[in-house]
């Protein structure tokens, strides 16, 4: 198997009208990744060394997206949509290079299991010319049935053409196939369009291959793996299945999820053993969490790195570029963006830290803001080791707070502070005895006069 070359032809040209979206259907996301990118990952995991994306609707957008998630893939445009076999033939230039195996996949099946593809390739290695991947849906109504005889697949019968006996068959066509490269073009070129719609159907190669005494067999994938997405309700169903799988894997790998059904992962979330995740936490793309961290409830994390034994939340937001080092703490209602929080530093509550470094062991008081943006450009704030930033302080970047620096509460700091210095940046307090009583009496009199005047008007 490992020595056999493999091309994956992924059909991604459909308009997806039932999605009711300007975005090409296969670019709608599951776990933060386009559906078709999940299919690409499965193909690569099954050993595909070549990738051919057959595109149509939104071709330019598809090419741009493919450059991100499949930079080595070739794209082939199907200008007229004349059926599935016609779509595969659009990739003739890639197929003709002589791969041992050709996998035909669909860009709207994001849950396809790489193991199902590997099994199909193994049957090709054992001598089959065509391998059809089937599945057993809870209700087979509407699906094409796989007709088998003596262990061989003889036909794929659309339900409208099935006899009453054939309709009882629960083994259905998932659409995906593996075809021996030596026969692929010959079989595809033999497909005709003598049908009501005048289209070229990929399923016809089963009977064509059988008529040529080539071995055609079926393998079985799970219903979930074969699930195709046609509308947003099915997209949500796929997301739910993906998340359930990922939560299960996380818990088996040593992660505690207190309320698993409320935690949402991204396709690339990395999370270490002995991490505890409380309810209602969302992980966006690009999150890496080392072992022993604790993520409290209602936190929102994306593009962030969290080292061992960090403490995050509740109600914390870590945005891209947030980098928490060992035993750092970011507490409730704090936001961190493009900033390093070094070992043991604490950003406890009601604070914004952006474009900054918070040195090891520093303490950031409640309500602190790094004022990093002047409406045109971003500027950096550097807070030294062991510094103490008093509550309700504004650090106007660019500014440096030295190691051990102490910022008095309520300060606006516009100039750098040396190591171990104390800085005040606020107006001096003035206290006037009796003035509070005088103001209350004045305000009460004014309010009474206003109320009396309003009554006279009525």
Q: What DSSP letter does each residue of 55-113 carry, written as one string?
A: EBTBHHHHHHHHHHH-TT-EEEE-SS---HHHHHHTTHHHHTTT-SEEEEEETT-TT--
Do 172 and 247 fall within a single domain? no
| pLDDT digit string, tens, across residues 290-348 | 999 999 999 999 999 999 999 999 999 999 999 999 999 999 999 999 999 999 999 99
Do 117 and 210 fall within a single domain? yes
Do 81 and 164 fall within a single domain? yes
- CA–CA dist 33, 248 (Å, integer): 19
Instruction: Tell which residue, 375, 419, 373, 420, has the closest CA to residue 398.
Output: 373
Instruction: Tell which residue, 128, 107, 278, 268, has the closest CA to residue 206.
Output: 128
Do 246 and 206 fall within a single domain? no
Domain assignment present for residue 215? The answer is yes
Catalytic, 38? Answer: no
Confidence (pLDDT) at 30: 97
What domain range includes position 166?
A: 6-220
Do 39 and 125 fall within a single domain? yes
Domain assignment present for residue 70? The answer is yes
Confidence (pLDDT) at 444: 92
Do 203 and 242 fall within a single domain? no
The DSSP 8-state label assigned to residue 320 in this structure reads T
Last residue of a domain, one of 181, 196, 220: 220
Domain assignment present for residue 439? The answer is no
Which residues neighbour 10 within 8 Å (Cβ) at sequence distance 6 or greater? 36, 39, 40, 43, 51, 52, 53, 54, 105, 106, 107
Do 281 and 320 fall within a single domain? yes
Catalytic option among 86, 300, 349, 458: 349
Do 283 and 332 fall within a single domain? yes
| DSSP per residue, 391-456 | TT-EEESSEEE-TT-EE-TT-EE-S-B-TT-EE--SPPP---TTHHHHHHHHHHHHHHHHHHHHHH
Do 297 and 321 fall within a single domain? yes
Instruction: Tell which residue, 344, 346, 394, 349, has the closest CA to residue 373.
Output: 394
Count of structural domains within the chain: 2
Domain assignment present for residue 174? The answer is yes
Q: Which residues of the chain have pLDDT under 50?
A: none
Do 106 and 36 fall within a single domain? yes
Do 209 and 256 fall within a single domain? no
| CATH number, residue 272 | 2.160.10.10
Last residue of a domain, one of 169, 192, 220: 220
**pTM as predicted:** 0.89
Domain assignment present for residue 246? The answer is yes
What is the CB neighbour count within 10 angstroms for residue 208? 19
Q: Which two tokens stand for residue 14?
A: 């459909």
Q: What does residue 72 show for φ and ψ, rounded to 5 degrees?
A: -95, -5
Cross-strand partners of 147: 155
Do 80 and 142 fall within a single domain? yes
The DSSP 8-state label assigned to residue 264 in this structure reads B
| CATH number, residue 70 | 3.90.550.10
């Amino acid at each position: 198997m490992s020595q056999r070359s493999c091309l994956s032809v992924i059909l991604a040209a459909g308009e997806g009208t039932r999605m009711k979206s300007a975005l090409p259907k296969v670019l709608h996301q599951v776990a933060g990744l386009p559906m078709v990118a999940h299919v690409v990952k499965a193909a690569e995991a099954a050993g595909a060394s070549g990738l051919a994306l057959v595109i149509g609707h939104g071709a330019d957008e598809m090419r741009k997206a493919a450059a991100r998630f499949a930079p080595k893939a070739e794209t082939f445009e199907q200008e007229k949509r004349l059926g599935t076999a016609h779509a595969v033939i659009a990739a003739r230039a890639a197929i003709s290079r002589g791969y041992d195996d050709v996998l035909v996949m669909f860009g709207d099946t994001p849950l396809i299991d790489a193991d199902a593809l590997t099994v199909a390739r193994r049957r090709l290695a054992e001598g089959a010319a065509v391998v059809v991947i089937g599945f057993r849906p809870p209700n087979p109504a509407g699906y094409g049935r796989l007709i088998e005889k003596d262990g061989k697949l003889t036909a794929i019968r659309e339900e409208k053409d099935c006899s009453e006996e054939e309709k009882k068959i629960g083994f259905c066509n998932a659409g995906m196939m593996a075809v021996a490269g030596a026969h692929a073009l010959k079989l595809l070129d033999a497909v005709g369009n003598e049908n009501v719609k005048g289209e070229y159907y990929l399923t016809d190669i089963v009977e064509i291959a059988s008529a040529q005494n080539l071995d055609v067999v079926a393998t079985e994938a799970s219903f979930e793996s074969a699930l195709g997405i046609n509308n947003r309700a099915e997209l949500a169903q796929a997301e739910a299945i993906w998340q359930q799988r990922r939560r299960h894997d996380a818990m088996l790998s040593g992660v505690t999820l207190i309320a698993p059904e409320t935690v949402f992962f991204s396709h690339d979330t990395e999370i270490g053993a002995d991490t505890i995740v409380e309810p209602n936490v969302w992980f966006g793309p690009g999150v890496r969490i080392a072992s022993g961290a604790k993520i409290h409830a209602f936190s929102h994390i994306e593009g962030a790195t969290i080292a061992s034994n960090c403490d995050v939340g509740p109600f914390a937001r870590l945005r891209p570029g947030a980098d928490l080092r060992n035993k750092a703490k970011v507490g409730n209602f704090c936001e961190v963006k493009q900033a390093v929080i070094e070992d043991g530093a604490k950003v406890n509550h009601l604070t914004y830290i952006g474009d900054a470094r918070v040195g090891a062991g520093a303490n950031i008081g409640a309500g602190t803001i790094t004022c990093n943006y002047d409406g045109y450009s971003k500027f950096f704030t550097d807070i030294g080791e062991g510094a103490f930033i008093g509550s309700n302080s504004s650090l106007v970047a660019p500014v440096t707070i030295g190691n051990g620096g102490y910022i008095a509460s309520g300060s606006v700091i516009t100039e750098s502070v040396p190591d171990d210095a104390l800085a005040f940046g606020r107006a001096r307090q003035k206290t006037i005895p009796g003035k509070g009583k005088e103001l209350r009496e004045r305000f009460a009199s004014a309010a009474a006069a206003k109320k009396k005047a309003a009554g006279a008007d009525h």
